[in-house]
Amino acid sequence: MTIDILMIRSKNLSLLIVSLLLISCSDQQSPDNGKVESVPPTSITNLETIMTVGDIERGRKLYIQCRACHSLKPNETNRIGPSLYGIINQQAGSIEGYEYSEALKQSNVYWNLDNLDQWIEKPYEMIPGNKMVFSGMRKKQDRNDLIAYIIDKTAEIDNKKQL
Ligand code: HEC
C-alpha cells in the first residue's frame, strides 16, 4: 500500500519535472529572455556582492584618480566636481550650490551600484554631454574596489540598508 502511494507520488513528480522542463524551454524562446541576457553578467546588483568582491584598500588607492575633483567627507565643499559624500541613492545633479551640466541635471538618474559602475566605466557614454572630464576606468575589478571604498566611506547607514 505505502509502496503504491510512493509510486503514484513519484509518477506525479516526474510529471512535474517534465512540465517544469517544458516551461523553462518555452521560456527560452520568449522575447523577454533577450532583455534578461542583455544585462551584463558582471553587473553588481546588491551591496553584499560589492562588499564581497570589492577590495576597500585597493579602492582607497584608486580613489586618488577622483580626489582631485571630488571630496568624500561630510561638510567638505564641492571642488571641480560635486562632493560624493552620501552619493548612493541620491538623485544625480542634486547637490545644492553646485553648478551641474544640463545633461546631468536632466538625467533623472538615482545613483545606485549599477549605474555608478556604468558612470565610472564611461561617463560620457552613460550621460552624454556631462562635464566630468574623466576618460573612464575600464577594469571591472578596479570599479568594484572603488565603489566598495566609496560606499564604505560615504553611504549613510540607512542608505546601506536599502541597497
Ligand atoms: C577632472 C575632474 C573630475 C575627475 C577626475 C572625476 N570627476 Fe566626477 N565629476 C566631475 C564633474 C565636473 C562632475 C559634474 C558633471 C556634470 O555636471 O555634468 C562630476 C560628477 C560626478 C558624479 C555625479 C555626482 C552627482 O551629484 O550627481 C559622480 C558620481 C562622479 N562624478 C564620480 C566620480 C568618480 C568615482 C571619479 C573617479 C573615478 C570621478 N568622478 C572623477 C569632475 C571629475
Q: CA dihedral defined by 112, 115, 117, 121, rounded to 10 degrees?
A: -160
- What integer best gives the mean pLDDT of the chain? 78
Q: Report the separation in Å between the CA atom of 48 and the middle of ligand 1, taken as the mean of its atom positions.
A: 25
What does the pLDDT average to over 28-45? 43
State the total domains in the chain: 1
Q: Report the separation in Å between the CA atom of 78 and the middle of ligand 1, taken as the mean of its atom positions.
A: 11
Identity of the amino acid at 72: L
For residues 66 and 146, give the distance between their C-alpha atoms in angstroms, rounded to a whole number.
10
pLDDT (0 to 100) of residue 61: 97
- How far, rounded to the nearest angstrom, does the alpha carbon of residue 59 sit from its chain's CA centroid? 16
| Atom 1 in ligand 1: residue holding the nearest Cα | 133
pLDDT at 123 over 90: yes
How large a percentage of the chain has pLDDT more than 70?
66
| Atom 38 in ligand 1: residue holding the nearest Cα | 66
Q: Are 66 and 83 in contact (CB under 8 A)?
A: no
Q: pLDDT of 132-143, one tens digit each?
A: 999 999 999 999
What does the pLDDT average to over 80-87? 92
CATH at 40: 1.10.760.10
Write out the three cell numbers for 158.
540607512
Of the candidates 34, 44, 24, 15, the residue with the CA atom closest to the CA atom of residue 118: 44
What does the pLDDT average to over 113-124? 95
Identity of the amino acid at 11: K
Of the candidates 144, 148, 159, the residue with the CA atom closest to the CA atom of residue 43: 144
Q: Report the separation in Å between the CA atom of 157 and the middle of ligand 1, taken as the mean of its atom positions.
A: 23
pLDDT at 25 over 70: no
At residue 22 the predicted structure's pLDDT band, cuts being 50, 70 and 90, is very low
pTM: 0.75
Question: Of 50, 61, 69, which is best to mutate to test ligand 1, by the most ligand atoms within 8 angstroms of its C-beta?
Answer: 69
Q: Residue 98 is part of which domain span?
A: 2-162
